[in-house]
Chain A
Amino acid sequence: MTTDVALPTAVSLQFPSAAPRPSLDCPAFNVPADGALALLHYLRDTQGYDFLMDVTAIDWSAEVSPRFTVVWHLYSSTKHTYVRVAAECASDAEPAMPTATGLWAGADWHEREAYDMFGIKFTGHPDLRRILMWDAYPYFPLRKEFPLAGLPTEMSDADINAEIGVGVISAPMVGGPFVATPGEPMSAAEPRAKDEAWSEKREKPE
């Protein structure tokens, strides 16, 4: 496992505002949000980190401020090493970050995903829409307060909603058709498709 040992010194000379970030593998830096693009540009053009592998975000939960951190992972196809860059979003209510689409075209979908899942607005992004969830979806599912089971919402199309009258319901975490229900006798709590029409006490209808 090789790492780019010379990189931290070079970056700290060029970017005094970039602080080293604790990491278990590759060199990592914390930068202020407005200096992130300059550092990414420097890493790409001067240090040979030509691949943007990943853009993602971390939600440190509603109690923590600054709440959202955006993380970029770069890879150098010449040095065969990685570098991680992280920047905190200034606002917790309206998190925003400058877009890297001008440096890598591939940042487009990554940033759309981070927006979709965390609600981070990438300023300057040409087409910041949701990507995995549908456009009208009201929540940001990877935020920590969003429950694992999901929240009931309307279906994606207004005309379908009007027609069937049923939205998207949250996942049955307990008591669904294949989930054991606590507090019942073993025979009833067994995880299986429950046909409510008959049981040990009631005859199976003909």
Chain B
Amino acid sequence: MATDFSYPDAAAKAANLPKEFDPEKMSLSMGPSHPSTHGVLRIQFELDGEIVTKADPVVGYLHRGDEKIAENMTYNQFVPYTDRLDYLAPLANNMAYAIAVERLAGLEVPARCQAIRVLTAEMARVSAHLMGLGAFGIDVGAWTVFMYCFEEREKLYKLFEELTGARFTTSYSRIGGLTRDVPEGWTQRVDAFCDQFLPILDEILGLLSRNKIFLDRTVDVGVISKADAIAYGLTGPNLRGSGVPNDLRKDRPYSGYEQYEFDVPVGSKGDCYDRYLCRGEEMKQSIRIIRQVVKNFPGGAWHAQDARRIFAPPKDKVLTSMEELINNFMLVTEGPQMPAGEVYFEAENPKGVLGFYIVSKGGGVPYRMKIRSPSFCNLSILPKLCVGNLVSDVVSILGSLDFVMGECDR
């Protein structure tokens, strides 16, 4: 006699199973709390044996309403919320957001501010890719890689902490500048990090690049064609892994990226292995940029000088001059004053292209702000990508897409 595994409650049963459920198939829910879904992604699978026949990603478990919050606070108050988008690269988010608002204000920041932003964004890229690589390693069974990556990442976080006062929630950008200048001797310590990091990076990549197990798990798995990558709006290493050489740092340089020499690594096949190779090479290119920034580190002001109603005046002026005190007070209570209009700015973040669409009616608070998050778009290809693969290959695919749910769900 067959055992009855069905739910006692018929209504609950109907709610939990996908519509048009085929009794030959099996339904499997992966996540939201699953080690290889990197956060709170849940995928509702329909399986035929071990082959995925349908995949329905369920996102939104980390939705905090960041866009609603942005409409209710001043431009500077929103900076800490950008830390929590891609929480593995907060410095890059800070920079993207600050530049978007500066485009709205029509404000140019001085060369030193731009250089510091590029430096921190590239360090954030290295740390984010280290995390992605380590987690990808664990997903396909390589524990050692994770430990190596985390040790290097920790060194970067020490540097971030020294610069911003926080390891993760850096909130380093302000509209029109930064929270503070770099500390004494900090750039030399960044350079020293680069010196010791490159040989270790080769060692880390050496653990995977010709590893038989790793190759078996990634080569020809999860192939994204060029056309698909474009149709689904993929960006970042996931797009470049498919052979599309799009990199906003090259194509539409912002914050002075045009001064630096670097190459854009591009994959040939678009499988999980190509995406891994792209990230590995991107880290080396980021180190190249970091070295150039440190070598030609510009002096001068580190925040916009002519931004009276946007960037806070220095503290000693606030305490000694009436006008600056009023200015500071107005800035804190009413926010940086922006003209009316619309801008859309995108920056090349570690996970892909992070965009801010700001609709302003003037004043210190945006009327509408849309955050175009790369992880959201990169995940939207999953229903197509997972079908036909083994469940264990889905784990490789998720690891290679390197998403972060804080940004996807906003």
Contacts and interface: CB of A to CB of B under 8 A. Distances in A.
A87 B343 CA distance: 17
Interface of B: 9, 11-12, 15, 59-60, 63, 65, 67-69, 72, 103-104, 106, 228, 230-234, 244, 246, 251-252, 339, 341-346, 353, 355, 357, 359, 367-368, 370, 372, 376-377, 379-381, 384, 409-410
A92 interface: no
A8 interface: no
Given A24-B342, A113-B376, 5 more contacts: A25-B103, A80-B251, A105-B380, A133-B60, A158-B15
Nearest to A134: B60
Given A132-B63, A159-B9, A105 B232 contact: yes
A54 B341 contact: no
Interface of A: 1-2, 22-26, 28, 50-54, 56, 58-59, 71, 73, 75, 77, 80, 82, 84, 104-106, 108-110, 113, 117, 130-134, 141-142, 146, 148, 150, 157-159
B357 A56 contact: yes
B59 A53 contact: no
10 contacts: A24-B343, A52-B233, A53-B353, A53-B355, A54-B372, A77-B251, A106-B381, A133-B60, A141-B68, A159-B9
Given A22-B341, A106-B232, A142-B67, A53 B372 contact: yes
A54 B357 contact: yes
Specify the main secondary structure of chain B where it touches its partner.
Answer: mixed
A84 B376 contact: no
B344 A26 contact: yes
A148 B230 contact: no
B341 A24 contact: yes
A77 B230 contact: yes
Contacts of A132: 59-60, 63, 409-410
Contact of A133 (B9, B63, B252, B339): B63
A159 B16 CA distance: 11
B246 to A, nearest CB: 5
Contact of A22 (B104, B342, B357, B376): B342
Contacts of B234: 106
Given A2-B252, A24-B343, A141-B68, A104 B60 contact: no
B15 A157 contact: yes
A69 B67 CA distance: 16
B343 A25 contact: yes
Contacts of B342: 22-25, 28, 84
Nearest to B67: A142
A159 B344 CA distance: 44
A73 B344 contact: yes
Top 9 closest pairs, chain A to chain B, by CB: A106-B233, A132-B60, A109-B380, A80-B251, A24-B341, A106-B232, A56-B370, A54-B372, A132-B63
A142 B341 contact: no
Contact of A54 (B65, B231, B246, B370): B370
A37 to B, nearest CB: 16
Nearest to A26: B344
Nearest to B360: A24
B357 A73 contact: yes
B380 A106 contact: yes
Contacts of A142: 67-68
Contacts of A105: 228, 231-232, 380-381, 384
Nearest to A159: B12
B344 A25 contact: yes
Contacts of A104: 231-233
Nearest to B353: A53
B372 A73 contact: yes
Contacts of A106: 231-234, 377, 380-381
A158 B9 CA distance: 12
A108 B231 CA distance: 11
- Counting chain A CB atoms within 10 Å of each CB, which of B232, B359, B384 scores highest? B232
Contacts of B344: 25-26, 54, 73, 82, 84
Contacts of A109: 376-377, 379-380
B252 A80 contact: yes
A24 B106 contact: yes
A1 B257 CA distance: 12
Given A50-B230, A105-B232, A106-B377, A58 B359 contact: yes
B233 A148 contact: no
A78 to B, nearest CB: 10
A146 B72 CA distance: 12
Nearest to A79: B251
Contacts of B384: 105
B15 A51 contact: no
B356 to A, nearest CB: 10
B380 to A, nearest CB: 4
A73 B370 CA distance: 11
Nearest to A54: B372
A73 B234 CA distance: 14
A24 B252 contact: no
Contacts of A148: 68-69, 72
A105 B377 CA distance: 11
A52 B244 CA distance: 15
B233 A53 contact: yes
Contacts of A52: 233
A157 to B, nearest CB: 7
A133 B15 CA distance: 17
A24 B103 contact: yes
B299 to A, nearest CB: 25
- Counting chain A CB atoms within 10 Å of each CB, which of B106, B234, B344 scores highest? B344
Nearest to A80: B251
